[in-house]
Chains A and B, each alone.
Chain A
Amino acid sequence: MSSYQAGHSSGQYPVIGLPQRRRRIYAIIGLVAALGGVIVFATALGSVRIPFATTTGIILDWLPGLDVASNWQATTETIILSIRLPRVFLAGIVGAALSIAGATYQGLFRNPLADPYLIGVTQGAALGAVIGFTLPFQWEGAGFGLIPLLAFTGALATVFIVYNLARVGKTIPVTTLILAGVALGALCSSVVSYLIITSGEKMHGIVFWLMGSFSLSEWSEVRVVLPYIITGVVIILLYARSLNVMQLDEEQAQQLGVDVEKVKRIMLGAATLITAAAVSFVGTIGFVGIIMPHIVRLIWGPDYRFLLPLSLLSGGIFLILADLVARTALAPMEIPVGVITAICGAPFFLYILRRKRREVFF
């Protein structure tokens, strides 16, 4: 009686889906290799140019379990391992964190304009940091300096308030969350502006922090930031498939077996944690979190199981390169890296967008 039965039991093996998956796995492997290359490249360049072979040797020798016959000077090793490598690492970690957090927020809110700072993280961090700048004393504890600690606390506290303002019973309506984030963010920003205006000679330091910089990077900072970011990233990657299903809409996702509210809560928490950790030491670097996930989406498609790790890797690569430009372009002067991310990133993004413009990509 119904026409669908006619002659469709072809039994051919469905090859669809698998080649695409293989292509994306190759992309991940390729980006891991590229990240390695970029780390060496960025570490070799600087006020003193060190040959790539030497740089590679020093980094390999430094890695646990590897031993390379050393034929380089101790000062060279000090420059690489104590000055440049921590900075390159921190840039890579922060770029990776902001990029995967951006992809996560875009997925959770099903909104291409979402970035890691959407629900008040930046403004909260900025307020915390600026309060730290205006305080008359310095303090240090738990590996944090005063300013990073206040920035971290400010970011988490702001999001916590936003989350509770937006909560209705056990659910968090996404629109309410964004609106509450925007409103509270504006409040924090106003206070920050006021504090900047009245900060006198500290103004330069504050503005420089707000634009983001890796100029004071040390291993201790990498060690403090890394656990938060690794934890957050692992949690986000575990829930990648749920995030795919949630692209349908919340009702369909529930009907496909996803506990939407739980996933939302966990992923919001993880993305916020890594964003707060990333900005607390290096300031609020813009552009990475919104643009890198879109570039990945344009090239490799919307499947979050690949989009998230690919965003992570490409965000790391991008920020290492941006910081390289920031410290070498006008050396010995430093440019805030947040300026470079937009100057270099925007044209590249527009090029990709233009090339793929016939396709709606979100």
Chain B
Amino acid sequence: MIELELKGISLAYGHKLVVKDLSFRVEPGEVVGLIGPNGSGKSTVIRGLSRVILPASGQIYLGGRDILEISRPELARLLGVVPQIAILPGTFTAFEIVLMGRNPHLGFLRHESAHDIEIAWNAMEMTRTESFARRRVNELSGGEIQRVVIARVLAQEPKSVLLDEPTASLDISHQVDILDLIKGLCHEISLTVVIVLHDLNLATQYCDRLILMKEGRLHAQGTPEEVINAHNIEEVYGAFDCVYPHPDSGIPVVLPKAGGSLKRGRKSRPIDAEAG
């Protein structure tokens, strides 16, 4: 059983091809991390998966169905998205924002019922946002807003969730907080998760599988141990000699050092240069 499948997807803005011939599969209940340098097309993949932009070629299947054949409200019932920085209308309360997650479940003229309100409230309890449910979102911190947006996605009751760097603007404790929350939800209500992460160390810690992208193409995929190695990091990021095993768990850790970038004019590894 495959939850989400991309078959030879190409995505473009105008004539500029950003994602090229990308294929991968995500199984139900899996947490898959999408990693790669800036501009490698990670966020664009999220846009394509949620049908904000249409693929120039290729197909996307959700639960075995082509997403082009799924109506927008139905797609929103199957798939929720947490954007990188959620722009929220400041005067709405946190609860009103979470309640918007019920939108795809409501008929054309229906108001939210007590049932919808209860679902939204449960989502707020799960994300520990109920204490500021009545506050306007312009009074909330970045971490609180991100949790409210995750609560909104849970209120959609989706099978899969896409997250586009949900921790990009947060400090380390809030990053761990958000990712623990997502990982926990993933187990508790068996969500399938595709998450774009910038921080490679968080990606190896939280993801079952990683998909490494370079210039819009798939560069490597597999378990964190398979993907995060000196060779891949050098090829994709141009940073070398920075992968070490974690002292406790042994999983690979990326620890960059000053001056360790190939992009600063050095064309090859210094060890080769010395040998040559």
Our pick among A2, A9, A242 for the contact of B180 (Cβ within 8 Å) is A2
Which residue of chain B is the closest to A168 with respect to CB atoms?
Answer: B14
Check if A251 sits within 8 Å of B90, measured CB to CB. Answer: no
- One of A3, A14, A251, A303 near B83 (C-beta < 8 A): A251
With most chain A CB atoms within 10 A of its CB, the pick from B89, B92, B120 is B89
Q: Is B9 an interface residue (CB 8 A)?
A: no
Chain B contacts with A in 114-148, Cβ cutoff 8 A: 117-118, 120-121, 125-128, 130, 133-134, 136, 138
**Across-interface contacts of A241 in B (CB, < 8 A):** 103, 106
Cβ 8 A contact of B101, one of A21, A256, A305: A256
Within 8 A of B (CB), among A8-26: 8-10, 13-14, 16-18, 21
Contact A247 B134 (CB under 8 A): no
Residues of A with C-beta under 8 A to B52: 251, 254-255
Q: Are the CB atoms of B117 and A255 closer together than 8 Å?
A: no
Mask: chain B, 156-181; 1 = CB below 8 Å from A; 0 = not: 10000000000000000000010011
List which B92-113 residues lie within 8 A (CB) of chain A: 92, 95-97, 99-101, 103-104, 106, 108-109, 111-112
On whether the beta carbons of B96 and A303 are closer than 8 Å, the reply is yes
Q: Is the CB of B184 within 8 A of A2?
A: yes
B residues near A3, Cβ cutoff 8 Å: 128, 177, 180
Q: Is the CB of A249 within 8 A of B184?
A: no
Q: Is the contact region of chain B dominated by helix, strand, or loop, or is it mixed?
A: helix
Known: A8-B125, A9-B125, A238-B109. A257 touches B104 (CB 8 A): yes
A216 at the interface (CB under 8 A from B): no
Who on chain A is nearest to B73 by CB? A257
Residue of B nearest to A18 (CB): B117
Alpha-carbon distance A249/B96, docked complex (angstroms):
15
Instruction: Tell me whether A302 and B92 are in contact (CB under 8 A).
Output: yes
Tell me if A252 counts as interface (CB < 8 A to partner B): yes
Q: Identify the stretch in B33-41, B61-69, B74-82, B263-271 within 8 Å (CB) of chain A at 4 or more residues.
A: B74-82
Q: Is the CB of B76 within 8 A of A256?
A: yes
Chain A contacts for B106, CB-based, 8 A: 241
Determine the chain A residues whose CB is within 8 A of the CB of B127 once the complex forms: 4
Residues of A contacting B72 in the complex (Cβ-Cβ under 8 angstroms): 254, 257-259
Residues of B with C-beta under 8 A to A8: 125-126, 128, 130
How many chain B residues have a CB neighbour from A under 8 Å? 56
Instruction: Judge whether A360 and B108 touch: CB under 8 Å.
Output: no
CA of A302 to CA of B91, assembled, Å: 7
B87 interface contact, C-beta 8 A:
yes
A348 interfacial by beta-carbon distance below 8 Å: no
Contact status B103-A256, CB under 8 Å: yes
Bound complex: CA A301 to CA B136 (Å): 11
Confirm or deny: A297 has a beta carbon within 8 angstroms of a beta carbon on chain B. Answer: yes
Q: Which of B50, B91, B95, B185 contacts A255 (CB 8 A)?
A: B50
Q: State whether the Cβ of A220 lies closer than 8 Å to any Cβ in chain B.
A: no
- CB pair B134 A257 closer than 8 Å: no
Contact of B87 with A248 in the complex, beta carbons under 8 Å: yes
Q: Which of A315-362 contact B (CB under 8 A)?
A: 359-362
Taking a contact as CB atoms under 8 Å apart, the answer to whether A16 and B103 are in contact is no
Nearest residue, chain A, Cβ from B138: A360
Cβ proximity bits A155-193 to B, threshold 8 Å, 1 near / 0 not? 000000000000000000000000000000000000000
In whole angstroms, how far apart are the Cα atoms of A301 and B183 in the complex? 36
CB-based contact B80/A255 at 8 Å: yes
Q: Complex: how many Å from CA A259 to CA B50?
A: 13
A4 with B184, Cβ < 8 A, contacts A302-B91, A302-B92 known:
yes
Task: Say yes or no: is A1 at the interface (Cβ < 8 Å to chain B).
Answer: yes
Cβ–Cβ contact A302 & B89, under 8 A: yes
Is A75 in contact with chain B by the CB < 8 A criterion? no
Complexed CA–CA distance, A256 and B126 (Å): 20
Interface string of B186-197 (1 = CB under 8 A from A): 001000000000
B2 contacts the other chain (Cβ, under 8 Å)? no
Instruction: State whether A252 touches B83 (Cβ < 8 A).
Output: yes
* B219 touches A (CB below 8 Å): no
Which residues in window 204-249 of A have CB below 8 A to B? 238, 241-242, 244-245, 247-249
- CA A333 – CA B172 in complex, angstroms? 71
Contact A297 B91 (CB under 8 A): yes
Closest 5 CB pairs of A and B: A2-B184, A257-B104, A257-B76, A14-B121, A257-B73
Cβ contacts A to B, 30 pairs, < 8 Å: A1-B183, A2-B184, A4-B126, A4-B127, A4-B181, A5-B184, A8-B126, A8-B130, A14-B121, A16-B134, A17-B99, A17-B112, A17-B117, A238-B109, A242-B103, A244-B100, A245-B103, A247-B89, A248-B100, A249-B87, A252-B86, A252-B87, A254-B51, A255-B52, A256-B103, A256-B152, A259-B72, A301-B91, A303-B92, A305-B111
If A256-B152, A303-B92 are given as contacts, then 10 extra A-B residue pairs at C-beta distance below 8 Å, sorted by A number, are A3-B128, A8-B126, A110-B89, A238-B109, A242-B103, A252-B87, A254-B51, A254-B52, A257-B103, A359-B91
